[in-house]
Copies of this chain bind each other. A is one copy, B any other.
Amino acid sequence: MIWYKNQSTDDDIMVSTRVRLARNLAEYPFPRVISKTDAEKVKQEVFGALEQEKELFVNGMHKTEMADIDKTGRQVMVEKHLISSELAAKNDAAVVIDAGEEASIMLMEEDHIRIQVIKGGYDVKSAYEQADKIDNAIERHCAYAFSEQFGYLTACPTNTGTGMRVSVMMHLPALTMTGNINKIIDSASRLGLAVRGLYGEGSKAYGSLYQLSNQITLGLSEMEIIEKLENIAGQIKKHEVEARNALKDNKQVADKLWRSLGTLHYARSISSAEAKSLLSDYILGRSLGIIDETIKQNPIELMVLTEPANVSEISGKADMAADERDTRRAQMLRDSI
């Protein structure tokens, strides 16, 4: 099940878990310098491999060439975190997505192959196992660029080694509200982890959503990386729980959170950034026991479905103006709250 639909009712801090493996085929130049013909060959080779390993995808898989879909269609996948924005920007790139929308194999992004598994909630090990299975399946048919000394070779040296990036998306509204998030970001970075906004590097933490991910891919085993991340994610979660406890009896906070719900119910125009912030307030309000009203739809899912391209797609209009989207988004939220 796609990550944003598979949200735990017990844990509203750990939103999703992602494992991404960077791989390249030994016989071809990296995508940045590859010829059109070779790029096509890489894609066909991986498609062929996946075709032969299709029992991995019990409910089937779907292949999409970026060249075949428009900007909105690509952006919808970016907003659902099924592909990266780098992939969406490349006309010769493609992606294979399993029917459950947990695994996506991106082809011709920065590396030939990026295997991504994303799951709702906190499930690093199972996400890794699934990515590892796909990795082994492809490797049965393709020769990876691999060095005994360095491990998997990648276009960018920061990925070399395991080629693995593990990330956990965390909802940290209380740490954001109290400002303590900055201390957390500093500590995590001293421990070799990065804390970033919703869409990775350089993006803002809209809706108080942060991605915690490993910076180091070399010199540690996959399991060591995962354990380190799990350990630190667990500590951050504890800090968030403590920060929430400190807000429980704060009347100003209660007022702010209730007002946000009023805005969700009544506004006629809402930007996607504001939508995430209002929905984040709702989640916090429920968690603190302040808000006793239950909205109809899962708020994390609403954050995704009210992203710009998703709003356009749901409305069946590829070229919606921003203010028209804001109006439609406000209506979607009123209908779902």
Interface residues of A (CB under 8 A from B): 251-252, 254-255, 258-259, 261-269, 323, 327, 330
- Which residues of B sit under 8 angstroms from A254, Cβ to Cβ? 268
- Which residues of B sit under 8 angstroms from A262, Cβ to Cβ? 259, 262-267
- Which residues of B sit under 8 angstroms from A259, Cβ to Cβ? 262-263, 266-268
B263 and A268 form a contact (CB under 8 A): no
B269 and A252 form a contact (CB under 8 A): yes
- Which residues of B sit under 8 angstroms from A251, Cβ to Cβ? 268-269, 323, 327
The CA-CA distance from A251 to B251 in the complex, in Å, is 32
Query: A269 → chain B, closest Cβ, in Å?
Result: 4
Query: A64 → chain B, closest Cβ, in Å?
Result: 36
Query: A289 → chain B, closest Cβ, in Å?
Result: 14
Instruction: Name the residue on B nearest A266 (C-beta).
Output: B262
- Which residues of B sit under 8 angstroms from A330, Cβ to Cβ? 255
Instruction: Name the residue on B nearest A267 (C-beta).
Output: B259
20 more A-B residue pairs beyond the given contacts A259-B262, A262-B265, with a C-beta to C-beta distance below 8 A: A251-B268, A251-B269, A251-B327, A252-B269, A254-B268, A255-B267, A255-B269, A258-B266, A258-B267, A258-B268, A259-B263, A259-B266, A259-B267, A259-B268, A261-B266, A262-B263, A262-B264, A262-B267, A263-B263, A265-B266
